[in-house]
A and B are shown apart, each in its own frame.
Chain A
Amino acid sequence: MSAGNDPAQRVAIGISFGNSYSSIAFTSGEGKAEVIANEDGDRQIPSILSYVEGEELHGGQAKGQLIRNSKNTVAYFRDFLGQEFKNIDPTPCHQSAHPIQNKSSIAFQIRDTEAEDQNTVSVSEITTRHLKRLRNSASDYLGKTVNAAVVTVPTNFSNTQKSALNKAAKDAGIEVLQFINEPVAAVLAYDARPQAQLADKIVVVADLGGTRSDIAVIASRGGIYTILATVHDYEVSGIQLDQVLMDYFAKEFIKKHKSGGDPRENDRSLAKLKLESEAVKKSLSIGTTANFSVESLAGGIDFTATINRTRYELLASKHFAAFTRLVAHAVEKAQLDPLDVTEIILAGGNSNSPKIASTITNAFPGATVVLAPSTSPTAINPSELSVRGAAIQASLIQEFELEDIEQSTHPMVTVTPHLSHAVGVLCISGDETSGVFHPIVDAETPLPVRRTALITTPREGGNVLIKLAEGARHIKVTKPEPKPKKEKEEKDDDDDDDEDSDEDESEEGEELREKTWKVSNVLSEAALRGLKKGSKVEVQINISADLNANCIFREVGGKGGVRGLLSGSKVTQNGSA
């Protein structure tokens, strides 16, 4: 009966529902994803609800209530949804309403009405209220009632959590068209840009969020994404970075005002300290210095201090390094080498910190592109990546029936055989040892696949041999010559001066790593005769899911060509076309 079930009446948006912040976005007529600002003008809407005398405050306004009304303010509740009490980590809620056990789920004791007594509100109900507010903001902005959405979730969100979120969304009047994984949404947000080139690449999405960090290694093959490995860490988080600043300013305060006491020991002072530290952290991503200023921080004393970026980076370097290690670990878990990584997308609000980008850039080879605001001027705001991806996906699927969407996301469709080795062609020499292997289809490409390659021919033309083979990626390690390598210097170019020098010294004397290919399995040989001078050869490979490979070789612009079929189980030969 509801209008949402009818694809024609659907108004779908993308929702990114995070522990600390949520955002909403829609896709405009031109196919561009736009992030919607709420009534307060926030594009990153804190996932916080607060109740003052029965009035519901949401987002930024609710965040302000953490200081004076923390008991009736609910924050950081996303990860509690669909979980059992014994499995949750209530630490982030230390300064807001505390989660309590309510039957098999989790609830909060808050005064959400004008009455004096406290109500037990389940986390599902809280989520519904939060989503309702998001929906209203989006509806107000669009002028149409939003009734459907694509929602991003972390990769380790269980089915129970998804169904709990689905139910909460339904109660809020939102039909969830699809849950998509946050890192994939981020990749999609980049790939949907008009200038984006479709290429086979390995992308690492490193999301440094408020309460957790998630790293995913994704193989992007012709626009189809496969997650190869994920790493989640609840210790490395934005809160840790805030904590560094809180400790710093608390110490400064004690140094200056001995009578004031430690602001970390008083709940209200702590909340003020925390809120301002977060603001300082954000401004340090933009400027090189930031002012910390809180009225009546502790003991009625106003406190103002300044911090420069270098000091902050020094203080937080431990956490930055931990984050980098996490990224490296994820790559290792995917059984890849840093050299295999084509792109690193930094997501999450904390990725605005320039130091995070530079630390990661240093840890990876020079060829790896790091997409973060400080390293790439065209980078998308890291906080908006997943919501943009969700909005794009929403625009793609909003005309479909829900049943269609379900069928398309069914394992029957999504579970796909992936090539275990790259398939390519031997260049320069047909001999396996002296020839140079060049991949045409990369490893981890989902089947079926169709790829075309254009290969140059010897200068004088004539007859050529086209030898298809499977190649294994090999990391060639060479000890460096006494003189420093050029590659190392390149890396430092875009960085600040002194703080990197120590790392560089330790890196000196390390071996040089190169990515090479080894031919492991020759698949076929074919000959093209009488090529013209300077012509090119087009090779098209079609590999079906049952590993039958259909190959076509022909001269560009020439007539005829050679066709061949590689069968999955037995070898057959086919005629020329």
Chain B
Amino acid sequence: MQIEILNLAKLYDQKRGLAPISFEVSKGELIAIIGHNGAGKSTLLKMLANWIVPDGGTATIDGIDLKNRIAVVRKVGFIPEEPNLFDFFSVEYNLKLFAALSQTPLTRVEEILGEFDLVSFRMCKVQSLSKGLKQRVNIGRALLADPPVLLLDEPTSGLDFEMTREIYRLLRAMHGAGKTILFTSHRPEEIKSLATRIMVLHQGSLVFDGYPDEYFQSDIHEKLYA
């Protein structure tokens, strides 16, 4: 198993958060994590990305314990909902900065600029880009070090139809390249044809874990989204 999670938990204010959760992820899976706001989707991904410290439980990625942050971040690329780039610098500067810190050759920046159609925007300040373009830079940055696991938190949030399709195209391409991907979404119908597995979080607990067909045939979808 590429990702093994055992009783991972995070509690905010004694109420919200994520109850102890356990599951495993095989290499090459494309998992959609769905659920309402506050269900614990982002919390789960942020714990795996080392953004927040779990209150309990353990998790390993490629056998590396989550607590070993420096080793884990080489395995995981995290794309948050809101692009967190140095807005006042150019696209190229941002990519070069993170490439340097990730000990990635600068030639990789050129590859990313090309792969994500960002060549013509390379000298543009990030703050001048649309949200869709910022998200492309954000995804490109996460892929600089070519991590085997990608975590995307609401990657299509706030994007128009065209941009959402573009992001899904990128997700398919990355999945095709052998990446293991976990992403969160509010919109289960949109990920029907995309995910190989669906996990449903509700009020901090895992209430469904299975194939997309099973999910859409189950009454959970009806209960949650009726």
The reply to whether chain A is a binding partner of chain B is no
- B residues near A, CB below 8 A? none
